[in-house]
Structures are given as C-alpha cells and as structure tokens.
Copies of this chain bind each other. A is one copy, B any other.
Amino acid sequence: MTDAERVTVVGPEPLRRFVARVLTTLGVPESDAETVAEILVEADLRGVESHGTTRVAGYVSMLRLGLLNPRPKVVVLKDAPSVAMLDGDNGFGMVVAKHAMQVAMAKARAAGIACVTARNLTHTGMVGFYPMMAAREGLIGLAMNNGPAIVPPFGGRTPTFATNPIAAAFPAGAEPPIVLDMATAMVANGKLRLAAKKGLPIPPAWALDRAGRPTTDPEEALLHGFLQWAGGYKGFGIATVVEVLGGVLSGGLFGTDVPPLKVFGKDPLVSSAFYLAINPEQFMPLDEFTARVDRLRRQIKSSTPAEGAEEVFVAGELEFRRHTERSRHGIPLSQVVHRELRGLAEDLHLPFEL
C-alpha cells in the first residue's frame, strides 16, 4: 500500500477551518479564505479529490512566489442588464468565479438569461461548484474556462489549450440536480497529477507521451507528453468553444498566449472564464420545470443496463452519493495530502487537529 492509498478520515468542518486558517495566515482576507476552503472541501466531499485539498500546498506556493494575488482588486469592466465583464487581478480564481456566477444569477433572475466573463483568474478549482450555486436557487447554471496552454489541437503537438472544463447544473424537484462537470480533455490534468502522487499507472486513452504515443505513465504525460481530447476532434471542438467564450470574449489571455504550466504551484496559472445562468421560470413555473428534470432523470435511471453494467448513472449522481456518504462519515484524505497539510501547519505554526 502506497502513501497515496493509505488514508486518514477527517471531518469536513475541521478541514475547512484549517484550510481557511492557512490562507488567512498568508494574508488572504477571511471571507475569501472561507470561499476557497469551502470549494476545496466540497470537491473532497464529492470525491473530486483532484480539485480538493490536494491543491492547498500548491496555492500556498503560488502565494509565496507572487503567482497568486492574496488581495486582488476585482474590476468590473462592464455591467449591463444581461452581461458583465470582470477582471480578477490574479486573485484566487474560486473567489472571482463565485462572484461572477452570483452576478450572472442575479441578472438572469430578472432578464431570463445572463452571462458574465472573468479574465485574469488563477485556478477556479472544481468548475461544477458554480453551476451548482445556480441550481440550488432554481436556476440553470453553466460554467467554462480556459487556462495554461498544455493540450495540443486534435492532430497537432503544440500545446495550445488547457483541458478546458465545462460544467452545467439543472435544478430538480424530488431528485438531486443533474450536474455535469468535465474536462473536454479525456481527463483533467489533476487526475494525472493524483495518479502520479499515488504512483499509479493511467489508462492509455488518457494521454500521449512526448512522441505522441499513448502512455500509461502519468509522470511522462505530465512532464513531457500531452493529454488527449474526449472523442478526438469532437472534444477538441467543444474545447474550442470554451476557448472562445472563456478566453477570447473575456478579453483575457487565450491559446498559446496563456503561459504553459508544468509544475502546479511553481508556474503561473492564468485562466479566463464564462458563466451563464438561465431562469427556467421565464419559460414555465419552476415546479413544472423541476418535475420535468426529475422525469428525465428517472428515464435515464430506468434504462436497462448494458451487458456487464450494473446500473446507469446520471451526470453528477456518483458525486452526490459520495457527498452524502462523506458528509456523514468523513473525508478519506490520502497520506500524501495529510502530510502536506501537516507540513503547512508546522511551517506556519498553526494547530493541526485533523
């Protein structure tokens, strides 16, 4: 058993408090620190560990290297009834993204639909968090962002896009909301990083080596190779949409202009994003809409499983299950992450009671 496989079960609340404390100690305002801690622990609760507290040490490193602005002045570049443009001043991407989605939601409530772009963000963490904010309040949410040039176009080998995640959430009634949260690359870089941390091989469809051949070595893929797009040119096509809406329309950096990222925490991580909200009540009573989402969900769930499959899953379903389970029984934190956090506590002279 490797250190990455050994786990310590920790409570979400102490973990949240500890992460926030680390950040405030480094000069991050309290409410921003709480937002970052909330989103990271939410990722751990949902089982999206690649975007959870495994990132804290990297953020701390970015703060110390001046790659992340602890006290950004977020600028509103444009504010109209249905659109807004923000500049995040290289602060925590999560803080700006949450704010951008709140603005989009408020505007969509009145106008029916609204979008907000945000440029000069750093890492925005688990992108599904922002649409879920909308779904909790009866709105449809959509989020996407670009980032460091690490993935080549389909058929090429010059790093040009990030993994360009896209996320959407739809409010439901009796059922949990439908939540899509995916990289348009077959996997997000975070999953390679986690596999590398755990010392585990990756499936050959996830990434290419430096020569463009499929590889099962996450280190080779991370340091010398490339990720692959989901569905080949189709995933690349969706990634292009993300690049234009997130990077081009926001007035931020895009494509090969975004500095590449090799080592998380040591290299700049610049991204730009697009947040959209739609108010279903402009189309029909909310009850009716959520009942229809429930009905769709039940239709999907009642599909006969394919030979060899036991159950058919709706987008976000496994994450909701994990969230319920982990909220009750705690988050199984890998020894690697646990040790990183303990190291930060010692370094910053903070109590460590996880």
Chain A interface residues (CB < 8 Å from chain B) = 78, 80-83, 85, 111-115, 117, 140, 142, 152-158, 160, 166, 168, 170, 178, 180, 182, 184, 186, 211-212, 229-238, 240-241, 243-245, 247-251, 254-257, 276, 278, 280, 282-284, 289, 292-293, 295-296, 299-300, 302-307, 309, 311-315
Question: Nearest 7 pairs between A and B by C-beta?
Answer: A230-B231, A156-B303, A231-B231, A158-B303, A83-B112, A156-B312, A255-B299
- Which of B154, B249, B255, B307 sits near A280, CB closer than 8 Å? B249
Complex contact A156–B304 (CB within 8 A) = yes
Please name the residue on chain B nearest to A284 by beta carbon. B251
- Which of B111, B249, B276, B315 sits near A81, CB closer than 8 Å? B111
- Which of B152, B257, B282 sits near A303, CB closer than 8 Å? B152
Query: Known interface pairs A230-B235, A231-B230, A304-B156. Does A254 touch B292 (Cβ–Cβ under 8 Å)?
Result: yes
- Which of B115, B240, B255, B305 sits near A157, CB closer than 8 Å? B305
- Which of B82, B155, B257, B305 sits near A156, CB closer than 8 Å? B305
Complex contact B305–A155 (CB within 8 A) = yes
Query: Known interface pairs A111-B82, A156-B306. Does A256 touch B299 (Cβ–Cβ under 8 Å)?
Result: yes
Complex contact B111–A255 (CB within 8 A) = no
Provide a sorted-by-A list of 23 A–B residue pairs whose CB atoms are within 8 angstroms: A80-B112, A82-B113, A82-B114, A83-B112, A113-B115, A117-B283, A152-B306, A154-B313, A155-B305, A155-B311, A156-B300, A156-B304, A157-B307, A160-B299, A160-B303, A178-B244, A180-B241, A211-B307, A230-B231, A230-B234, A245-B278, A251-B283, A255-B299
A243 CB contacts on chain B under 8 angstroms: 296
- Which of B117, B154, B158, B282 sits near A83, CB closer than 8 Å? B282
Complex contact B231–A313 (CB within 8 A) = no
Given A82-B114, A168-B241, output 16 extra A-B contacts at Cβ < 8 Å. A78-B282, A81-B112, A83-B111, A113-B115, A140-B245, A156-B300, A156-B303, A157-B305, A157-B306, A158-B304, A160-B300, A178-B240, A180-B240, A212-B306, A230-B235, A249-B289
- Which of B78, B140, B295 sits near A283, CB closer than 8 Å? B78
Complex contact A313–B157 (CB within 8 A) = no
- Min Cβ gap A300→B in Å is 5
Once bound together, how far apart are the Cα atoms of A255 and B184, in whole Å?
A: 24
Once bound together, how far apart are the Cα atoms of A229 and B173, in whole Å?
A: 27
Please name the residue on chain B nearest to A83 by beta carbon. B112
A234 CB contacts on chain B under 8 angstroms: 182, 184, 186, 230-231, 235
A155 CB contacts on chain B under 8 angstroms: 303, 305-306, 309, 311-313
Please name the residue on chain B nearest to A240 by beta carbon. B315
Once bound together, how far apart are the Cα atoms of A242 and B282, in whole Å?
A: 19
- Which of B114, B142, B248, B295 sits near A296, CB closer than 8 Å? B248
- Min Cβ gap A36→B in Å is 26
A78 CB contacts on chain B under 8 angstroms: 282-283
Once bound together, how far apart are the Cα atoms of A111 and B83, in whole Å?
A: 8
Once bound together, how far apart are the Cα atoms of A243 and B180, in whole Å?
A: 13
- Min Cβ gap A195→B in Å is 18
Complex contact B231–A283 (CB within 8 A) = no
A283 CB contacts on chain B under 8 angstroms: 78, 83, 85, 117, 249-251
Query: Known interface pairs A80-B282, A289-B249. Does A153 touch B238 (Cβ–Cβ under 8 Å)?
Result: no
